[in-house]
Amino acid sequence: MSFRTVIEPFRIHSVQAIREITPQEREAALARVGYNLFGLHADEVLIDLLTDSGTGAMSSRQWAAMLDADESYAGSRSFYRFQEVVQDITGLKEVIPTHQGRAAERILFSVMVKAGQVVPSNTHFDTTRANIEHGDAEARDLLIPEGRIPSQKHPFKGNMDVAALEATIETAGRAHVPLVMVTVTNNSGGGQPVSLANLRAVRAVCDRYGIPLFLDACRFAENAYFIKLREEGYADRTPKEIAREMFSLADGCTMSAKKDGMANIGGFLAMNDPALARDCRNLLILTEGFPTYGGMAGYDLEAVATGLEEVLDEQYLRYRLRSTAYLAEKAEAAGVPTVQPPGGHAVYLDAKTLLPHIPPAQYPAQALAIELYRVGGVRGVEIGSVMFGKPNPDGSEVPAAMELVRLAVPRRTYTQSHIDYVGEVIAEVARRKEEIRGLKMVEQAPWLRHFTARFRELDAKSR
Ligand code: F0G
């Protein structure tokens, strides 16, 4: 007998209170932070879907392992356990701990990438892009065309366009492509998975030109479970077997353990090439720490090691993907279009389609994110023209391709009734969509402006 309801596969052992603040308090908070939700005090948020990064709940096994951690500066027992778990899942020989994902990226790109080179990816996450561009190289996104259309369904919308990869290498020249990255799952494209067939095809191109392939593996376990559900021939394989097969196609990976490491902080860089590992460790010592802790405490190493074991649990992954899809169904039922099919860690609301009366220059996705907070204290993040719009010299802007609000679901943190509540908030916002106003940006930083920009709400007349 199998039942329809997919339950949270855990019981709650320790709780943290959340408190709803009044609509008046929320309105005052919005005015104070200049309509930028990054500026809120987290206690002013009821359900925080800003990110799934480092915001999840740890298990009692993780907390227990942390208590028993070894804080030795060099050669800590906790490091050897961490190394063993990472090697067991990835099959990669060299394991370099880092305090989070972007530290692994910075070290890898500092060693491997030179100015003027091109690093292709299905889609670079902001931090990988920024770390590549910081070295005056080019981060190029080569996603399949289906991945760019929110409403278009495709089982592996995170796949790389293999023909475009080949054309890029041919045009740039092998010597100008130091490595190829594939992000699993593709966060910036909607948390969409990459198939093993696609990884194999990318690997074959890399082999033909002798170029190393690295995974940005932040959400590797969610990607593995999507493969189990959707790729021919994998229904009977375990998530761990599938994850191993994914990593077996790569020469290395960067990892933020704040996602599928189920920890609040941590990450690593792993690879097979010992000479590359030596260069990376030398940089690690300079900025992160000794190679057996790399910026993490011994107890962080334990939390990640245990988290990596837990994340591949099939029951957990089934619940994880189902609970994200459940939120997407609520939004769709309320008439709010979402990126389809829903991704593993987040639901992406399509503000451009929902709010056609707000032009991109007035930031419809920012307006939608603000309304979700105003109506129900729910915090998401704008992924649209505030984040990716490019200012023209004349003061106008080239808008982003999509205007999305990401609602990222922290791991093992909210229950189904929290998500039901978010669904009700979305429905109420959809009912009042005609009244939602656009925004004018009144203050912005020269880069990564979305974190600190301030806005003014436009009144109905100025539309
Ligand atoms: N790669 C991907 C695909 C990510 O989603 C992130 C972080 C990173 C790398 C960087 O890892 O934060 O540990 O340095 N994403 C978070 C998010 C911030 O909200 O999606 P980090």
Question: What gap in Å lies between CA 131 and CA 128, rounded to an integer?
Answer: 5
Indicate the angle between helix axes 239-248 and 220-230, nearest 10 degrees. 110
Roughly how many angstroms between the first and final C-alpha of the chain, as a whole number? 57
What pLDDT score was predicted for residue 463? 46
Residue range(s) occupied by CATH 3.40.640.10 in the chain: 60-310
Q: Is the pLDDT of residue 95 over 70?
A: yes
Banded model confidence at residue 461, pLDDT cuts 50, 70, 90: low
Could you tell me if the CB of 187 is within 6 A of ligand 1?
A: yes
127 CA: nearest ligand 1 atom: 10
Average pLDDT of the segment spanning 353-372: 97
In terms of CATH, what superfamily is 23-52+313-462? Aspartate Aminotransferase, domain 1 (3.90.1150.10)
Q: Is the pLDDT of residue 343 over 60?
A: yes
The residue whose CB lies within 8 Å of the most ligand 1 atoms, and thus the one to mutate among 143, 218, 223, 253, is 218
* CA neighbours closer than 13 Å in the CB half-sphere of residue 151: 8
Annotate 24-59 with DSSP letters as a single string. HHHHHHHHHTTT-GGGS-GGG-SEE-S-SSS-SPPP
What pLDDT score was predicted for residue 278? 98
Lowest mean pLDDT among 21-30, 121-130, 351-360, 413-422: 121-130
Q: Do 234 and 219 touch, CB atoms closer than 8 A?
A: no
Banded model confidence at residue 460, pLDDT cuts 50, 70, 90: low
Cα of 1 vs centre of ligand 1, distance in Å, is 39
What pLDDT score was predicted for residue 98? 98
What pLDDT score was predicted for residue 372? 98
What pLDDT score was predicted for residue 389? 87
Q: Which residue has a Cα nearest atom 8 of ligand 1?
A: 101
Q: For strands 138-141 and 454-457, give the pairing.
A: unpaired
Quickly list H helices, 72-175.
77-90, 101-112, 126-134, 162-172
Q: Which residue has a Cα nearest atom 16 of ligand 1?
A: 53
Q: Is the pLDDT of residue 462 over 70?
A: no
Cα of 272 vs centre of ligand 1, distance in Å, is 23
User: What value does the mean pLDDT of the chain take?
Assistant: 96
Cα of 269 vs centre of ligand 1, distance in Å, is 14
The C-alpha angle with vertex 384 and arms to 380 and 389, in degrees rounded to 5, equals 140
The Cα-based distances of 386 to 61, 105, 143, 396 in angstroms read 41, 25, 22, 13
Question: What gap in Å lies between CA 367 and CA 439, rounded to an integer?
Answer: 7
Banded model confidence at residue 61, pLDDT cuts 50, 70, 90: very high
Q: Which residue has a Cα nearest atom 2 of ligand 1?
A: 125
The Cα-based distances of 298 to 57, 62, 95, 268 in angstroms read 19, 12, 15, 14
What pLDDT score was predicted for residue 12? 95
Counting every residue written for the chain, the total comes to: 463
Cα of 128 vs centre of ligand 1, distance in Å, is 9
Residue range(s) occupied by CATH 3.90.1150.10 in the chain: 23-52+313-462
Could you tell me if the CB of 186 is within 6 A of ligand 1?
A: no
Annotate 131-190 with DSSP letters as a single string. HHHHTT-EEEE-B-GGGG-TT---TTTT-B-HHHHHHHHHHH-GGG---EEEESSBTTTT
102 CA: nearest ligand 1 atom: 14
Query: The domain 60-310: what is its CATH number?
Result: 3.40.640.10
In the chain, pLDDT over 90 holds for what percent of residues?
92
Could you tell me if the CB of 216 is within 6 A of ligand 1?
A: yes
In the chain, pLDDT over 70 holds for what percent of residues?
99
Comparing 382 with 396, the larger pLDDT belongs to: 382
Report pLDDT digits (tens) over 262-307: 999 999 999 999 999 999 999 999 999 999 999 999 999 999 999 9
